Amino acid sequence: MDDARTPPDLPSWATWWQRPFPDANTLLLHGRRPALVDSGFVGHAAETADWADARARARSGGRPVELVVNTHWHSDHVGGNALLQARGAAVAAGAPEAAALARRDPGCCSAEYLDQPVPAYSVDLALDDGQSLRLGDADWQIVRTPGHTPGHLALWQPEERLLVVGDALSDYDVGWVNLALDGPEAAGTALASLKRIADLDPRVVLPSHGPVPADPAAALAAAQRRAQRLVDDPDGAVWYGARRILAFALMIRGGLPSAEAEPYLLARAWLTDAARLLRRTPEVLADELVTGMVRSGALALRDGRLYAAAEHAPVPPETLRVPYPRDWT
């Protein structure tokens, strides 16, 4: 894990760590206020915190990470928050998510809904659209980009024209949208957010998953075309989200016995919602989802066990044993 992971077109005060699922990519900003953008999945929280603190101290005059900024609150972005907060870092997040976390809403992080564990943390700084925030030695602007989640945000550094986009897009995809929780307009909201950040004309786009796009303008244009398809085909948007959620569940659990797949899915609120939107019974959707993903190669069946086919890092099972937000103190 050395600084060679950082793309050559980033300034010297930024270190980029491209990570496989289930972690989001991580950006470390050096200077008088060392800051980390997104903290990965709980299963690798110690690895994230140790990496960030060691490099921050080495390049920021001995200072550890002082601030963690979350693009949004999904488990692969906030899993290291609690540990870094215990070490003295503050946490900043979009205002809607900060408010929900402050009142300990049971729906925080969609953790229980998605069955994705998140250790309890709090938000010290709520971020609003247009706000300026000092990270490292540079000033960044907060750009609200709802769609993937209502509180999703991007970070814009105008002098270097760097844009941290979270899950709004990657070089190969766009973030899934939850039409059940966030309403039928969520896909249109995501598309509007993409158009807004494309107007910034960034020199470098830093996504939460996958590599840094070689051509930012082309990546943003492709993302808008993909998002338009989610707007035009709501059923397709629901299927897209369901596939992503199931694949992630298998990644963090090291797969699942095939005989347990249907009971697991039928216990999930997200599958029940998807079945309603797709005008199916949950049992029919569970079967179609698994069968279709195996057929497409998105899931692999080996020795009676289902696995996610995409590259991902293993997760120690004991790290998943954290309470849902409804039980956070």
Condensed to tens digits (0 to 9), the pLDDT of residues 135-157 reads 999 999 999 999 999 999 999 99
In whole angstroms, how far apart are CA 2 and each of 52, 145, 203?
11, 31, 24
What's the mean pLDDT in 177-194? 98
Domains of the chain: 3-232 (3.60.15.10), 234-327 (1.10.10)
pLDDT value, residue 4? 42
In whole angstroms, how far apart are CA 243 and each of 63, 277, 298, 313?
41, 15, 9, 19
Condensed to tens digits (0 to 9), the pLDDT of residues 261-273 reads 999 999 999 999 9
What's the mean pLDDT in 231-236? 98
Does the pLDDT value for residue 3 go beyond 80? no
Mean of all residue pLDDT scores within the chain? 97
Condensed to tens digits (0 to 9), the pLDDT of residues 264-310 reads 999 999 999 999 999 999 999 999 999 999 999 999 999 999 999 99
CB 46 within 8 A of CB 83: yes
Condensed to tens digits (0 to 9), the pLDDT of residues 22-50 reads 999 999 999 999 999 999 999 999 999 99
Confidence of residue 93 (pLDDT cuts 50, 70, 90): very high
- More reliable by pLDDT, 309 or 329: 309
* Geometric angle at alpha carbon 23, from 22 and 29, rounded to 5°: 175
Rounded Cα gap, residues 93 and 111, in angstroms: 16
C-beta atoms surrounding 269 within 10 Å: 14
Condensed to tens digits (0 to 9), the pLDDT of residues 59-88 reads 999 999 999 999 999 999 999 999 999 999
pLDDT value, residue 5? 60
Residue from 133, 158, 164 nearest 24 by CA: 164
pLDDT value, residue 281? 98
What is the three-class DSSP state of 219? helix
Rounded Cα gap, residues 307 and 257, in angstroms: 9
pLDDT value, residue 7? 77
Percent with pLDDT over 90 in the chain: 97
